Amino acid sequence: MATPQPQRDALVQDTPLWIHDLTVAYHRKPVLWDVNLSLPEGQLVAVVGPNGAGKSTLIKAVQGLVPRASGAISVFGKPYEEQRHLVGYVPQRESVDWDFPVNALDVVTMGLYRQIGWCRPVNRRHKAQAMAALEKVGMTPYAHRQISHLSGGQQQRVFLARALVQDAQLYLMDEPFVGVDVATERAIVALLKDLKAAGKTCIVVHHDLQTVPTYFDHVVLLNMRVVEAGPTDAVFTEENLRKTYGGKLTLLSDALFEYSKNPQLPRGRKGGQP
Amino acid sequence: MRQRSTVGGAYLLTLLLAPALAWAADAHDHGLDWPSLMDFLRVLTLQDYNTRVVIIGTSLLGLAAGLIGTFLLLRKRALLSDTLSHATLPGIALTFIIVSALGGDGKNLLFLIGGAALFALLGTGSVILIQRFSRLKDDAALGIVLSVYFGLGIALLGLATRMNTGNAAGLSAFIYGKTASMLLFDALLIAWTALAAAICSLLFYKEFTLISFDASYAAGQGWPVVRLDFVMMTLAVVVTVVGLQAVGLILVVALLIIPPAAARFWTYRLRPMLLLSALFGALSCYLGATMSALMAKLPAGAVIVLTAGAIFVISLLFGSARGLLRILLERRAMARKIGRENLLRSFFELTEADLAGAAIRLDDLLKQRAWSPGQLDRLVSLADREGLLNRAADGTLRLTERGIQTATRVVRNHRLWEAYLITHADIATSQVDWGADEIEHILDGEIVRELERLLPEADQPAMPASPHALTPAAEME
Ligand SMILES: Nc1ncnc2c1ncn2[C@@H]1O[C@H](COP(=O)(O)OP(=O)(O)O)[C@@H](O)[C@H]1O
Ligand SMILES: [Mg+2]
């Protein structure tokens, strides 16, 4: 049951995301302890753990958005700072004020700002790129709608489109399935499949344990430290979930264990493929 | 359209006020020196070069403040600008004391602005330090810095007025604002600085928008958020310190906050918001400077803020995007729509077997819901006028062709929403939108078909039966 320790040779470091001995603390409170991870390319990876486990912090630490106390991170073998263009980030939906005076298309165009560069205006070609990204998430009819007039699921899809427009290799998504409607959940699942088919790697913070085996190939169980990480069939077990969630798991339904024991069973209660 | 009428209204107001003021000038030829009608026209039409520069410079300042204020408001930094404007006072007083003591002209605008800017930055720095190294909330940090710096400024100002060298009297212009005492050089300085600040804020349009909307995403993308914030705050400091003489440090913050807040009522888009905010700022300043040029004792700052305040109130009431009037109208329209749909639904449920043929009476409908006879009568009359139903002379009611269509659609939507609430209870409540005409606008077609399948007795796909028992009154019939 030993956590697979990433070795220090170059091969392992070339993976989409390689994290070694990462420790993060807010003020004096440690949030992540000695996290070691090496994630495979072209897979859909779920990051699972209880509230406050440090899932969002992990995603932010990768991008240098929170200072790390120690540890090393590399993206496709190089520091994140050199690889920004390869990484698409979908923050938690609540992280912004949706009453901002822009429309869906404007938000998606923000994904191109780095490419456009300092002080240069957005031109028609950029707008066409943004429209194409909106189309991929089924939001074409809402492109010119004010973001505060979109439903939660539609807002989430706008955020996804903003990451897609970058055409990244590695996507970091923080709870994209939270509070979204059935249509959006389906759209996101289809999108993840497309991304995987195109060889992209997606790391998705996920809260719904029941759908983990259907949606994801690889799981990282996180609670301040990495409890276990690996292919879903091997790692997503009742015992490991207990280790991750502790007493909190008893609050969850027993059905969860049925799902985790029998990977055939879960077809996605509210979605999946028919 | 409404925008223009707002602006036009404010303009008209001054023009109407002009003869009244001129008349008052004749009535009292002592006390305040009121302008003659000729003076008034001369100033208003910018004939005099000095006045022209002062008025144009101040208007440009309003324009720049409107632009930068918009970004500050969206970055949720509006109150910081209040703190930094108050923090300039000790800078002004100290500069005056030092320069006078050294034998220079203590009221040289360049020195005073330099001192003011230095202390504005010190004040901002103090706020950031307090926020970082204490557990105080932001508003407390802002309040502490504002009051301590302002207190220090008042004390130093008292000292300055007691000095033998120099004459500190003119310094009060920095507190209340006074365009009349402005020199040509001051006005030119204000005009060019404001213009530069405005252009600078537009250059960073894309960057400021990004960090205001989602700073952490911007940081992840590699934008230097801290430095961009610094540029934004520096622009705010620039506008504040060059605005001190025109508006006064107590009121200069109004120029940064009120125009963008007013503009927000007219639009949901950033570009029009910037444009309107700049326009509102420029207009307020134009009127303020004009009045102050006419009446030497009238503080420009006060007039500027009052004009801006009037624009704000008009926007709050009549704003085309989120003005009060519009919200009230929308609420009324929604109440009407719900009333109409309830009426049609009750009608439908009573006569489902024979929609076209059945005629019912008001009393039948009255039993269906908790509505008063008066309410129901109003709803029926409205529906009659809208051509949804016909009221015969004997009082019987019958749905028209259009009424049947509408009722069918309303009932179908309602039943599908109910099915959705039942089958997707965990996420449904946030999606249900009774205002939408068609459920398909919110949920995709596949889900709608799935819901139709799920409903019992779905033999008639276009009209699923109600998943719950109809009201007892309906069954009794
Ligand atoms: N900016 C912050 N300052 C202080 N503590 C924080 C901050 N952000 C998160 N935390 C704390 O760090 C812990 C982990 O947070 P987070 O990574 O958001 O958890 P998760 O996303 O797994 O729910 C929580 O206990 C949270 O309270
Ligand atoms: Mg989180």
pLDDT tens digits, one per residue of A62-109: 999 999 899 999 999 999 999 999 999 999 999 999 999 999 999 999
Binning pLDDT at 50, 70 and 90, where does residue A168 land? Answer: very high
Q: In whole angstroms, what is the distance from residue A175 CA to residue A159 CA?
A: 12
Contact across the interface for B268 and A146, Cβ inside 8 Å: yes
- The CATH number covering residue B102 comes to 1.10.3470.10
Nearest to A119 among B203, B210, B446 (CB): B203
**Residues B179, B293: contact at Cβ < 8 Å?**
yes
Distance between CA atoms of A181 and B426, rounded to whole angstroms?
10
What are the C-alpha distances in Å from A45 to residues A115, A172, A202, A212, B296?
27, 10, 6, 9, 72
- Least distant ligand from the CA of A32: 1
Residue B225 within any structural domain of the chain: yes
Within 10 angstroms of residue B359's Cβ, the number of other Cβ atoms is 16
Ligand 1 center to residue A52 CA distance, Å? 6
> What is the model's pLDDT at position B449?
77
User: What residue ranges line ligand 1, CB within 6 angstroms?
Assistant: A 26, 31, 49, 51-57
> Distance from the CA of A205 to the center of ligand 1, in angstroms?
14
Q: Are B72 and B44 contained in the same domain? A: yes
Q: What is the pLDDT of residue B83?
A: 92
Token look-up 């008063």 returns B372
pTM comes to 0.83
Does residue A204 have a pLDDT over 50? yes
Distances from the Cα of B255 to the Cαs of A47, A99, B66, B186, in angstroms? 48, 23, 7, 19
Helix (H, G, I), strand (E, B) or coil at A158: helix
Asked if the structure places residue B7 within a domain, the reply is no
What is the reported pLDDT for A114?
92
CB contact under 8 A, B427 and A84: no
Tell me what pLDDT residue A123 has.
94
Q: Tell me if B28 is assigned to some domain.
A: no
Of A60, A101, A186, the CB nearest to B268: A101
Site of tokens 């007219």:
B266
Does residue B48 sit in the same domain as residue B171? yes
Residues B213, B334 within the same domain:
no
Q: What are the phi and psi torsion angles at A199 (to 5°)?
A: 85, 10
Residue B441 placed within a domain: yes
Co-location of B264 and B186 in the same domain: yes
Does residue B21 lie in a domain region? no
Residue of chain A minimizing CA distance to B228: A118
Say how many CB pairs under 8 Å bridge A and B: 99
Q: Do B314 and B427 share a domain, yes or no?
A: no
Residue of A177, A182, A184, A186 to mutate, testing the B interface (most B Cβ within 10 Å of its Cβ): A182
B5 part of a folded domain: no
Q: Same structural domain for residues B396 and B415?
A: no
Q: What percent of chain A has pLDDT over 70?
A: 85
Domain count, chain B: 3
Length of chain B: 477
* B74 to chain A, closest Cα gap in Å: 7
pLDDT of residue B131 exceeding 80, the answer is yes
Atom of ligand 1 nearest to the CA of A50: 22
The interaxial angle of helices B88-101 and B78-86, nearest 10 deg, is 30
Same-domain check for residues B307 and B173: yes
Tell me how crowded residue B21 is: count the other CB atoms within 10 A of its CB: 16
Distance CA B352, CA A162 (A): 48
For residues B55 and B121, state if they share a domain. Answer: yes
Shared-domain flag, residues B283 and B422: no
pLDDT of residue A10: 45
Span B67-87, mean pLDDT? 92
pLDDT digits (tens, 9 = 90+) for B281-318: 999 999 888 887 787 777 788 888 999 999 999 999 99
Radius of gyration of chain B (CA): 32
Residue in chain B closest to A62 (alpha carbons) equals B220
Average pLDDT over residues B134-153: 90
Per the CB < 8 A criterion, the answer to whether A82 and B245 are in contact is no
Domain boundary residue among B321, B352, B383?
A: B321
Q: How far is the alpha carbon of B163 from chain A, nearest alpha carbon, in Å?
A: 49
Do the Cβ atoms of A202 and A196 come closer than 8 Å?
A: yes
B277 lies in a domain?
Answer: yes
The last residue of one of the domains, among B293, B321, B349, is B321
Same domain as B362, residue B303: no
Distance (angstroms) between ligand 1 centre and the Cα of B212 equals 22
* Among candidate residues B298, B321, B344, the one where a domain is terminated: B321
Name residues whose C-beta falls within 8 Å of residue A51's C-beta, 6 or more positions apart in sequence: none
Question: Domain containing B170: what range?
Answer: 33-321
Give residue B455's pLDDT: 67
In terms of domains, do B372 and B261 share one?
no
> Per-residue pLDDT for B200 more than 90?
yes
- Who among A81, A95, A113 is closest to B206 (CB)? A113
The answer to whether residue B189 sits within a structural domain is yes
User: How many angstroms separate the alpha carbon of residue A223 from the centre of ligand 1?
Assistant: 12
* B123 and B230 belong to one structural domain: yes
